[in-house]
């Protein structure tokens, strides 16, 4: 698929002096709550007001959104503040009702993106509609599935597109509600540099105190902006209370963020950058050589185990190795998550090599 610059027409048309900011409550709860939040956000860097009208819940019984009756509230936001408005759509009925109420931007949520049938139905229902559509990453870390959602929309003639990085579900997450797995978004941006990429730090963090740090990481990686859940009374929100912030907190975050230059032509900067890149290239080459040597030893061990009819997986030793590597890595300033991900990948490859020894 070719992502054309036309796909970012909706973003370029805003002619922003700063990254796009999409803000508003996780859920539209009451008309008063929606309008009060919107009027407070009007005086911040917010460009688009968001509110969940339909809320997909993991288990039944929770608050699933106010439904269609909340759409006129978003229309009032447009009339009274001049901001664009956006909401999530999960099926063709949502699309029909959102378009009927002239919602400016639609987004497809993570639970919907994971279902190609649902995305295709939404894409078909949007044929001939000239509105921006944003696709959140699927809950599982699957780049082709994420891009597949974009491709289905583009194939249906949707010419204004974007993606939202909201992190990926995982067990035993410590620091994040949903692991960011930045490399997946970086790979997407590398393949399709003209596809607008927006961060949803609220769902990645799951708590308000780390939103600034995660948002700064996104700016450092040249993201196009943010979707941040913002509520007039976050602690009493009807959904996702812990990750929502007040409009005043949002304003402070946008003021504290440092917008980086894309590049610098300063001669000394370029000289030092090239020097460090050469160092990295050399180290990366050494890493490949070391990994090749390690897998050669794994193959020899596999042969030994095969000849002696010994099981490949030695769980106790693997647990000891991983704990030691995490401890050594942390002592050298490397994160536990980073070390675990690297050595789990190394371990899987070692197991595969030993399994294939004859």
Per-residue pLDDT of the chain (358 residues; tens, 9 = 90+): 666 677 889 999 998 888 999 999 999 999 999 999 999 999 999 999 999 999 887 778 778 889 999 999 999 999 999 999 999 999 999 999 999 999 999 999 999 999 999 999 999 999 999 999 999 999 999 999 999 999 999 999 999 999 999 999 977 667 899 999 999 999 999 888 899 999 999 999 999 999 999 999 999 999 999 999 999 999 999 999 999 999 999 999 999 999 887 778 888 888 898 999 999 999 999 999 999 999 999 999 999 998 889 888 888 899 999 999 999 999 999 999 899 989 999 999 999 999 888 7
Task: Outline where DSSP puts E strands in 269-316.
Answer: none
Tokens of 348: 């899987």
Instruction: Measure the CA–CA gap between 153 and 160, rounded to whole angstroms.
Output: 9
Q: What angle do CA 133, 255, 216 make, to 5 degrees?
A: 65
Tokens of 10: 């909706």
Instruction: Measure the CA–CA gap between 358 and 355, rounded to whole angstroms.
Output: 8
Instruction: Show the domains of the chain with their CATH numbers.
Output: 5-256 (3.20.20.70), 267-355 (1.20.59.10)
SS3 230: strand
What pLDDT is stored for residue 130 in this prediction? 93
Q: Are 194 and 7 within 8 A, CB to CB? A: yes
What pLDDT is stored for residue 3 in this prediction? 65
Pick from 260, 242, 172, 200: which is nearest to 50 by CA? 200
Pick from 174, 64, 189: which is nearest to 137 by CA? 189
């Amino acid at each position: 698929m070719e992502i054309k610059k036309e796909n970012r027409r909706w973003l370029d048309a805003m002619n922003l002096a700063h990254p796009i900011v999409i803000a508003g409550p996780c859920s539209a709860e009451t008309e008063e709550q929606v309008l009060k939040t919107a009027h407070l956000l009007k005086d911040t860097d917010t460009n688009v007001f968001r509110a969940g009208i339909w809320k997909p819940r993991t288990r039944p019984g929770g608050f699933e959104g106010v439904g269609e009756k909340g759409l006129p509230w978003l229309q009032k936001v447009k009339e009274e503040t001049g901001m664009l408005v956006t909401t999530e759509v999960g099926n063709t009925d949502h699309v029909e009702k959102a378009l009927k109420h002239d919602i400016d931007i639609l987004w497809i949520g993570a639970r919907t993106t994971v279902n190609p049938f649902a995305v295709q139905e939404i894409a078909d229902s949007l044929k001939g509609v000239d509105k921006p559509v944003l696709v959140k990453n699927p809950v599982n870390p699957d780049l082709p599935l994420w891009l597949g959602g974009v491709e289905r929309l583009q194939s249906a003639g949707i010419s204004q597109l974007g993606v939202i990085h909201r992190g990926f579900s995982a067990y035993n997450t410590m620091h994040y509600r949903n692991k960011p797995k930045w490399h997946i978004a970086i790979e997407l941006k590398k393949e399709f540099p003209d596809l607008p990429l927006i961060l949803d730090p609220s769902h990645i963090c799951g708590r308000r105190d780390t939103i600034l740090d995660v948002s700064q990481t996104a700016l450092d990686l040249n993201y196009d902006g943010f979707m941040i859940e913002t509520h007039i009374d976050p602690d009493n929100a009807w959904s996702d209370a812990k990750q929502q912030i007040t409009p005043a907190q949002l304003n402070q975050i946008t003021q504290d963020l440092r917008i980086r230059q894309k590049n610098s032509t300063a001669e000394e900067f370029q000289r030092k950058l090239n020097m460090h890149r050469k160092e990295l290239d050399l180290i990366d080459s050494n890493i490949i050589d070391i990994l090749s040597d390690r897998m050669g030893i794994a193959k020899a061990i596999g042969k030994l185990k095969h000849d002696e009819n010994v099981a490949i997986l030695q769980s106790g030793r693997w647990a000891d190795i991983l704990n030691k590597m995490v401890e050594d890595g942390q002592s050298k300033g490397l994160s536990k998550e980073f070390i675990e991900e690297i050595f789990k990948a190394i371990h899987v490859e070692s197991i595969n090599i030993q399994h294939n020894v004859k």
